[in-house]
Amino acid sequence: MKKILKISLLIIILAIFLATLFYLYKKSTAKPVIYLTERPFTTNITKKTVATGSVVPRKEIEIKPQVSGIVEEVFVEAGKKVHEGDIIARVRIIPDLVNLNNAEGRVEKAKIAFDDAKINYDREKKLVGEGVIAQSEFQLADVTYKNATQEVDAAEANLELIKEGVNKKSGKVTNTLIRSTIEGMVLDVPVKVGTSVIETNTFNAGTTIATVADVGDMIFDGKVDETEVGKIKPGMDLLLTVGAIENDTFHATLKYIAPKGVLENGAVQFEIKADVRLKPEQFIRAGYSANADIVLERKDKVMAIKEGLLLFEGDSAYVEVETAPQKFEKRLIKTGLSDGINIQIISGLTMKDKIKIQPLNPTGAGK
């Protein structure tokens, strides 16, 4: 029995040993590498750079009041279209106490002067009628009376302007009614009824009543990196992709490149502006973020290969071309425009050549 167990154990050990040798032999045997090939093809190659920015109206105006006071009524809301001269809001004037007091004092002084001039005018008129004084003396009294009358009117009109912002002589012309200065769409109304506003003057920009813009005339305002700005020039075509609008693109024409860059996040950026060409049915909301593809160079219907097929030796580029089944030779080529995926072949290849695809791992590739 013990002899049978020993024989069985030896057989098992021998089997394991032989299996190990067979495994190591199979593993050490190199599998033949079968390379895939690819032919050149005809395509369009476009070299482009990308600029980031936003789409904004070319003409965007902030409407500000000409008087200080409190907003009494707002006639528009964001999104409404307005014409030049349309009323945006009405402001109730809160008169300055010092100016009001001075205006009231001026009216009282003007009335006192008017009463004195009228008494003198009536007296001189009676005397000249009786022939007691000369006509020239009466003329002086007449001029004084007319000036006093005019001063009363002016003082009362000034007081009315300070109180109401309008006087009888000006009629409907009043600066308490805030009007749009352009035709367009109301983008924002930052004030509400009851808001105190400050007039535009030399020392203050004033409170914005509303922002109005022509949304039919839009521009792309973006930034280009300093490494790309030397490759672009006015007149180039841009293809805009707006993040908020899917499945639609917009065309634009580059019009402006800033002569001075601005340092942003460690890189120098140059501002660019381009006219957006909108179709009649297209509409873009102001402020949408957008990316602009700027076409730097384009080649149509040229022979090309995948750029990943290229190999390099010094300053020369080459590919491995199949001369017989799974037999390859090195062939120098001259390349042209590249878009990062495909590259133009100027010389060195024909459309019938089969180019070796380099394996992704050292053990071989493909079938």
* Tokens coding 86: 């349309």
Q: Is the dihedral of CA 144, 145, 148, 154 positive or negative?
A: negative
pLDDT digits (tens, 9 = 90+) for 190-226: 999 989 898 888 888 889 999 999 988 999 999 999 9
357 vs 360, residue with greater confidence: 357
122-130 contact pairs (CB < 8 A, 24+) = none
- All residues at 6 or more sequence positions from 121 whose CB lies less than 8 Å from its CB, including other chains: 141, 142, 144, 145
pTM of the model: 0.60
Neighbours of 197 (CB within 10 A): 19
pLDDT digits (tens, 9 = 90+) for 251-276: 899 999 999 999 988 889 999 999 99
Reference 55, options 279, 220, 239; nearest CA is 220
pLDDT over 90 for what percent of the chain?
31
pLDDT at 31 exceeding the cut of 70 = no
**Which pLDDT belongs to residue 230?**
87
Contact by Cβ (8 Å): 319, 311: yes
Reference 65, options 151, 158, 168, 180; nearest CA is 180
Mean pLDDT of 348-364: 76
Task: State the pLDDT confidence band at 290, using cuts at 50, 70 and 90.
Answer: very high
pLDDT digits (tens, 9 = 90+) for 52-88: 999 999 999 999 998 888 898 999 999 899 999 999 9
For residue 289, CA distances in Å to 48, 56, 220, 244, 274 come to 19, 9, 9, 8, 14
| Count of all residues that appear for the chain in the document | 367
Task: State the pLDDT confidence band at 365, using cuts at 50, 70 and 90.
Answer: very low
Mean pLDDT of 162-177: 61
Structural domains in the chain, CATH included, are 37-45+300-356 (2.40.420.20), 49-57+216-298 (2.40.30.170), 62-86+182-213 (no CATH), 97-164 (1.10.287.470)
Report the DSSP beta bridge partners of residue 81.
185
Task: State the pLDDT confidence band at 171, using cuts at 50, 70 and 90.
Answer: low
* Tokens coding 271: 């501002």
CA distance 112 to 152: 9
SS3 category, 123: helix
Mean pLDDT of 148-165: 76
SS3 category, 6: helix
Reference 340, options 307, 291, 303; nearest CA is 307
CA distance 229 to 51: 10
* Tokens coding 41: 């093809």
pLDDT at 339 exceeding the cut of 70 = yes
Q: What angle do CA 191, 193, 195 make, to 5 degrees?
A: 55
366 vs 167, residue with greater confidence: 167
